[in-house]
Amino acid sequence: MAQRWFWSLRPATARESVRAIWANFLLHWFPARMRPASLAWLPTFWLGTVSWVLFVVLLLSGLPLMVFYVPSVEDAYRSVKDIEHVVSFGWWLRAVHRLGAHLMVAAATLHLLRVFVTGAYKNASGLNQHREWNWVIGVAMLFATLLLSFTGYLLPWDQLAYWAVTVGTAIVSSAPLAGAVLRETLIGGREIGEATLVRFYLLHIVALPLAVAVLFGYHMWRVRKDGGLAHGGRDGEGAADVQAIPAVVRRIAVVTMATLLAVTLLAALIPSPLLDPANPDVTPNPAKAPWYFLWLQEVVADTTVRIGPVRVNGALIGGILLPLVLSVVLTLWPWLDPSPGGTAGVAFPRERRVQNAVFLAVFVGITVLTVIGLMRGPSWGLWWPWESWPAAPTRF
């Protein structure tokens, strides 16, 4: 009797496995049979699944937060404070949402790193694949994830949020010719205020989540159309010979439970900060961008120098030109990579050792700059985490 009711979860035959795939909406994007390498833990670390689970966590935790949050300059801070101190388990719910956003940025970045070093955007020889377009979709999802986190950063409307967004949008204004227009379009005016908060709120709860969901759906469909995860060799070498059901269900369940457990425990241990209400007339020292943009702020600070009578515009170099060049090269790299299709899905092959080394060097450099930015204290000085900052005057 149990087998009769749960045949789609524990199919007894290959035929039932195929039927389970076709009959289940959530499993329909998986092939009926998969290569053993696609089900292993180490090649992918299942970072794509982790990113999706975190996105669902953000949706589920964001819905109740929307009930209590008021998107207005007068009431935003008070509503967040009520969530933190009045609503039952509101502090934990807010911590889950905040940490889930940070972890999603990290997981999506590491997923992109894994795809690059394995050359999983390459097409196998002799096959009608278009993996390079799925790489472009992945880059777009990473940017959408960053914007999703950035727009949510302002919503508490405290000093940390207000000045982090102030620093981030100030970098945008450094773009030549259209910088001021871009900043005003982003914040809804010349100053960060009511229009900015409402605009960020709508982007955060409607436009960007919808964009991520649509991109993810196409991303998974594209993976299916291209024959599953990339692997070395021509088609037929290491072909699929394992029933996808129930093997893939078990692994997704394990990854989901592990991710939920990690977020739950971290939310209970790491409280969400809530500083004084936002005050445009009081500038904290230092004023920092969100952590995922700290490396850009560090580059801006390091390249803002005077060489004789010439003052180098660090905001233009570090805030506009450098990220623009990196973004364009990253997006177009599948068409620039000359390595053969046989290296697709192979970690650190000899044919790709130079480009992998350069990519990892850039990634490590960004990580180091981010850590340095986290260590910045008053007047942008460097301070170890265990050192106490001296009493610095607040800039008015």
pLDDT beyond 50 at 270? yes
Q: Which of 90-99, 236-245, 247-256 has the highest mean pLDDT?
A: 90-99
| Top-confidence residue, 313 or 54 | 54
Can you tell me the distance from the alpha carbon of 140 to that of 148, in angstroms, rounded to the nearest whole number?
A: 12
pLDDT at residue 1, as a whole number: 47
Can you tell me the distance from the alpha carbon of 162 to that of 324, in angstroms, rounded to the nearest whole number?
A: 25
Sort strands 306-307 and 310-311 into parallel, antiparallel or unpaired: antiparallel
Contact 383, 390 (CB under 8 A): no
pLDDT at residue 362, as a whole number: 96
pLDDT at residue 126, as a whole number: 58
pLDDT at residue 104, as a whole number: 97
- Percent of the chain at pLDDT > 70 equals 90
Mean of the pLDDT values across residues 301-309? 77
What is the tens place of the pLDDT at every residue in 114-138? 999 998 898 876 567 888 999 999 9
| Top-confidence residue, 126 or 179 | 179
pLDDT at residue 236, as a whole number: 43
Longest dimension (CA), the chain: 85
pLDDT at residue 235, as a whole number: 41
* Structure tokens that stand for 319 in this block: 């805030």
pLDDT at residue 232, as a whole number: 58
What is the tens place of the pLDDT at every residue in 55-82? 999 999 999 999 999 999 999 999 999 9
pLDDT beyond 70 at 315? yes
Contact 345, 229 (CB under 8 A): yes
pLDDT at residue 391, as a whole number: 65
Can you tell me the distance from the alpha carbon of 191 to that of 189, in angstroms, rounded to the nearest whole number?
A: 6
| Top-confidence residue, 245 or 297 | 297
To which residue do tokens 């046989």 refer?
342
The CA-CA-CA angle for residues 59, 62, 65, to 5°, reads: 160
Mean of the pLDDT values across residues 368-377? 94
Q: What's the per-residue H, E or C state across the chain?
A: CHHHHCCCCCCCCHHHHHHHHHHCCCCCCCCCEECHHHHCCCCCCCHHHHHHHHHHHHHHHHHHHHHHCCCCCCCHHHHHHHHHHCCCCHHHHHHHHHHHHHHHHHHHHHHHHHHHHCCCCCCCCCCCCCHHHHHHHHHHHHHHHHHHHHHHHCCCCEHHHHHHHHHHHHHHCCCCCCHHHHHHHHHCCCCCCHHHHHHHHHHHHHHHHHHHHHHHHHHHHHHHHCCCCCCCCCCCCCCCCEEHHHHHHHHHHHHHHHHHHHHHHHHHHCCCCCCCECCCCCECCCCCCCHHHHHHHHHHHHHCCEECCEECCHHHHHHHHHHHHHHHHHHHHHHHCCCCHHHCCCCCCHHHHHHHHHHHHHHHHHHHHHHHHHCECHHHCECCCCCCCCCCCCEC
What is the tens place of the pLDDT at every residue in 277-290? 999 888 888 888 89
To which residue do tokens 């936002």 refer?
278
Mean of the pLDDT values across residues 136-164? 94
pLDDT at residue 39, as a whole number: 78
Q: What's the mean pLDDT when you consider all of the chain?
A: 86
pLDDT at residue 80, as a whole number: 96
Strand partners, 199: none
What is the tens place of the pLDDT at every residue in 344-366? 888 888 889 999 999 999 999 99
pLDDT at residue 265, as a whole number: 95
Confidence class of residue 266 from pLDDT cuts 50, 70 and 90? very high
